Structure 1
Amino acid sequence: MAKYLVLYRADVSAEEQMQQSPEEGDASMQEWMAWAGKVGGALTDFGSPVGNGRAITSAGTSSSTSDVAGYSIVEAADADAAAALMDGHPHLEIGTIEVLEAIELPGM
C-alpha cells in the first residue's frame, strides 16, 4: 500500500472556516467523522487544518498565499483508489481536494 498526502484547498482559510456557530461546527465535524468512518483504516492520519503559512525562497521569507487549508494521509493500492476514498468528502462542498503519492526514497 502506498501513502497519499491529501491536501484540502479552499478560497476561505481554515481560520475563517472555523468562524462559525458551535452548532455549525458540530454538524461539520459530524460530516468529517462520517467520512472518516467510511474510509476506515485507509485513513492513517486524520490530519488537521493549517494556516499562518510562510513561503520560503533563497531571497527570504514572506506570508504564504497558498490555498491549502488542511491535510490528511491515506493509504491505498494506487492513485485511483486513493482518489476514490474522497468520494462524498464534506470538504468538496467548499473547496477541492488534491491527492499526492508519497514516493519512497531508496535506502530510507
Structure 2
Amino acid sequence: MHIVMMEFVPGTDAAFFQKVEDYAERIRKECQGVRLYHFGANEAARSQGYTHAVVSAFDDAPTHDAYQVSKAHVEMKTYMGPSIQRLVVYDGAAPLL
C-alpha cells in the first residue's frame, strides 16, 4: 500500500485536479502490477487540511519501486510539487481482499 495525503496551496483550481487525474489514469495504464490507483478528494471532517489523497496498492515491493521511478509518476510529482503545501506518506504491507 502507498497512501499520500496532501494539502494544496490556496487557489489550486479544478483544471489542476483534472490534470492530476489524467496522470493517475496514465499510471493505471502504464505501470504494471498496480492493483489500485485512486486520486480523490478527502471527505473526512477530521482531515486536518489534507484535502486530497492518492491511495494505491501494488503486487509487491519491487512493483512499487518501479512505479516510483516511472515516467508517468515522475511527471505527476513534478507537476504537483509547486502546488503541494503539506503532505504525509504511508508505505506498508496490507492484505488485499
Comparing 67-76 with 83-92, which one deviates more in the overlay?
A: 83-92
Q: 1:60 is matched with which residue?
A: none
Is the Cα–Cα contact under 8 Å of residues 7 and 98 in structure 1 kept in the other structure?
Answer: yes
Query: Please, which runs of 5 or more residues in structure 2 have no aligned partner?
Result: none
Q: Which has the larger radius of gyration?
A: 1
Q: Aligned-pair distance for 1:45?
A: 4.2
Give the Cα–Cα distance (whole angstroms) in 2 for the partners of residues 104 and 31 of structure 1.
Answer: 29
Query: Please, which runs of 5 or more residues in structure 1 have no aligned partner?
Result: 55-63
Q: Aligned-pair distance for 1:36?
A: 1.4
State whether structure 2 residue 35 is matched by structure 1 residue 53. no
What is the CA RMSD across the aligned residues, in angstroms?
Answer: 3.3
Q: 2:20 is matched with which residue?
A: 32
* TM value normalised by structure 1: 0.50
Give the Cα–Cα distance (whole angstroms) in 1 for the partners of residues 55 and 44 of structure 2.
Answer: 21
Q: Aligned-pair distance for 1:34?
A: 2.5
Matched-pair identity in %: 11
Count residues in correspondence: 84
Give the Cα–Cα distance (whole angstroms) in 1 for the partners of residues 82 and 35 of structure 2.
Answer: 20
Is the Cα–Cα contact under 8 Å of residues 8 and 69 in structure 1 kept in the other structure?
Answer: yes
State whether structure 2 residue 55 is matched by structure 1 residue 44. no
Deviations 1:70-103 (A, max 9, x none): 1121233335445436412243230155431243
Q: 1:7 is matched with which residue?
A: 5
Give the Cα–Cα distance (whole angstroms) in 2 for the partners of residues 33 and 47 of structure 1.
Answer: 6
Distance 1:91 1:4, change over 3 A: same
* TM value normalised by structure 2: 0.54
